Amino acid sequence: MKKIGIIGVFVLLIPACVTINIYFPAAAAEKAADKIIDEVWQLKPGEEPPAETKPADAPAN
């Protein structure tokens, strides 16, 4: 009975690993990490990151 439980866990674990590789490919994760690192290295000591600009709200009718 214990053996069936262990096999069941592995049967569920393998598709989960495949799903992660499909939705989060290593190349995309590495590219995102490189972008973040580049942004951090461009800041000079004592300098704050630029504020994000947001579009102005539309006037109410």
What does the pLDDT average to over 1-22? 79
pTM of the model: 0.33
> Which tens digit of pLDDT belongs to each residue from 38-60?
888 886 666 666 666 655 555 55
Is residue 37 helix, strand or coil? helix
Closest CA to 10 of 18, 26, 22, 21: 18
Amino acid at 34: D
Closest CA to 39 of 25, 28, 50, 29: 50
**Region for residue 46 given its phi and psi (left: phi exceeds 0; alpha: psi -120 to 50; beta: otherwise):** left
Residue 29 exposed, middle or buried by CB count within 10 Å (0-12, 13-18, 19+): exposed
